[in-house]
Amino acid sequence: MKKNVYVGMSGGVDSSVAAALLKEQGYAVTGVYMKNWTKDIPGFPCPWKDDYQDAKRVAVQLGIDLRVYDFETEYKQKVVDYMIREYEAGRTPNPDIMCNQEIKFKLFLNTAMEDGADLIATGHYARTSNGRLLTAKNTDKDQTYFLYRVSAKALEKTLFPIGEYNSKQEVRDLAKKLKLATAEKHDSQGICFVGKVGIKDFLQQYVSTDPGVVMDTSGKIIGQHGGAIFYTIGQRHGLNIGGGLPYYVVGKNMKKNEVYVTTDLDDKNLWRQTIELTDLHWINNQPDPDKTYMVRTRYRAPLVKCATSIAGGDIILKLKDQVRAITPGQSAVVYDGDRVLGGGICI
C-alpha cells in the first residue's frame, strides 16, 4: 500500500520539485499550502496569493490534491510575536528557526497526521536518517542551520527529497525538464513570511522607537539613530555616519537607547572565542565534552572547530579560532561531521 506523504508546497521551485520527486517515487502525494501570513506592509504587498497560485499550478500539473492549512493565528503567536519580543529586548532572533520548530515540524506535522498522512515532506536542503538530521549534499545551500530545533520524533516522519542533489541548478534543471510552473521562479528574499520587506520596515509596524545617539568606543557622539532596536552586532550598513573608514556596531544599550560603533575591525567587542548558549535543543543526544565538534554561528558562516562544556543549564563553546559578530539572540549550531547535534541561542 502506498504511503501518504503531505508535502509543504510554498509556491517555490524547491518544494515543487520535492512533490514531483515523491510522486515519481511512488508515494501518494498531497500538497499543502501553509497560509501563515497574509498581512500587507505599506509599500510591500504580501505575496501569499501569488505563492498559493504557483503551488496550485504545480499541483494541477502533477495531478495531486492541494489543501490549504490556515496557521495564521498560531504563526502570529509563535513566530511573529516571539520575533518582536526578542528585538525589543535588544536581541537578534531568527524567525525561520522558530517557524520550523513551531509551525512546519510541529503544527503542520500534527495536522497532516490527523488528516491521514503517514509522512510529511518539505523542500529544505537537508537529509534525515532514523530521526537524525544530516547536512545536504549541496553544502552551499544546506539549510540544517534553520532546522536544528526540530525533534527526532518529527524527523522520523519527515522526507527531504532534494537533500541528495548536489546543486540548486540540478533542482532547477529538473523543474524545467518536468515543465513545472515554478521552474524559473526566483528564490524569496527578505523576511521569511513577508517577501521583500526588510526587518526594519516590518518592525516599524509593531514597535514605537525614539531617536538616540550613536557613540564611538571612546564615548564621543558621532551620529543619531532611529531606534537601537534596529541595530545588530557587526552591522556596517545603515548607520548614516559619513566620511572616513566604515563603522561597525559593537554594542547597544536598550535602556539608554544608545548604539556603540567602531572603525577598528580588531576591536575586542567584535570578536569572541567563547560562546555561551542557552535555550538548548539536542536532536538525539547532547555533545560529548571529550570530543571536538564544528559550530556554525550564522547561516552560511564557515564552520569552526569547538570544544563543549556544560555550565548549569547552559553550554559553553570554546572555539579554536575567534569569530566575528557573535550576536545575542542568534543561534549557534553544533555539527559532528555531516550530522547535526543541535545547538542553542547565543547569550
Catalytic residue annotation: 99, 192
- In this structure, what C-alpha cell is assigned to residue 28? 501518494
What one-character DSSP code corresponds to residue 21?
H
CA distance 54 to 15: 11
Q: Which of 98, 128, 110, 23 is nearest to 66 (CA)?
A: 23
The three-state secondary structure class of 252 is strand
HSE, side-chain direction, 13 A CA sphere, residue 151: 11
Stated length of the chain: 347
Q: Which of 76, 73, 56, 72 is nearest to 64 (CA)?
A: 56
Q: Is 247 exposed, middle or buried (0-12, 13-18, 19+ CB in 10 A)?
A: buried
HSE, side-chain direction, 13 A CA sphere, residue 216: 11
